[in-house]
Amino acid sequence: MILPELVFATNNKHKTEEIGKLLVNQYKVLNLKDIGCDVDIPETGNSFAENAELKSSYVTENFKLDCFADDSGLEIDALDNEPGIYSARYSGVRDDLENLNLVLKKMEGKANRKAHFKTVISLNQNNKNYLFEGVIYGHITQTPIGDEGFGYDPIFMPIGYDRTFAQMSMTEKNEISHRAIAMKKLIAFLKEQV
């Protein structure tokens, strides 16, 4: 059976395998390395959606392949939705601990600690573009708690939980996260297509 090819614009082999398993027998999911794309695609957009679209469109235009790409980050109400698209290098460097400490510093004395993680996935399929969004709401803790996960996980506690993302197993977080919500929407859409 020849499956339609679909590129996930990521260098993360693990992420590609995971989604490939969910779409088994429907799509052959390839990552950037699989298609010989070693360019660090510039993320110069002003929103998660723009950055995701830049990545998916780069692949579709240059490799003539259907493709999806994701972009995520943390938005904090009291900081006018910062760090937002700058989440990965909020402190100026790509260092999780420094970024997280900068957030805690900026949040000192703030009563409103509401925040959310957001993921936007851009899919280019058959010359059309589709967007899928996942959001999870919660609050920023006073101090980092937990050792699991990455990024801002130790300071984000989702609504309805008394543990941060960093206190959850990867399986538990993957059931409720912004990325999981957006991916589920993408997968449901792709399953309808075949």
Catalytic residues: 71
CB of 48 to ligand IMP, least distance (A): 8
- If binding is defined by CB under 6 A, does position 66 make contact with ligand IMP? no
Question: What is the token pair recorded at 73?
Answer: 């980050």
CB of 152 to ligand IMP, least distance (A): 4
Locus of tokens 């260092």: 95
Strand partners, 125: 128
Strand partners, 70: 121
Longest dimension (CA), the chain: 60
Report the b/e string of 160-186 with b at 16+ CB within 10 A.
eeeebbbbbeeeebeeebbbebbbebb
Cβ proximity to ligand IMP: between 26 and 78 the closer is 78
Nearest to ligand IMP by Cβ — which residue? 151
Cβ proximity to ligand IMP: between 29 and 118 the closer is 118
> Which of the stretches 20-28, 103-111, 127-135, 145-153 binds ligand IMP when contact is defined by CB under 6 A?
145-153
> Which of the stretches 19-27, 54-62, 71-79, 104-112 binds ligand IMP when contact is defined by CB under 6 A?
71-79
- Number of amino acids touching ligand IMP (CB under 6 A): 15
Return the sign of the alpha-carbon dihedral for residues 160, 165, 169, 170: positive
Contacts with ligand IMP, residue ranges (CB under 6 A): 71-74, 87-88, 99, 117, 149-153, 165, 177
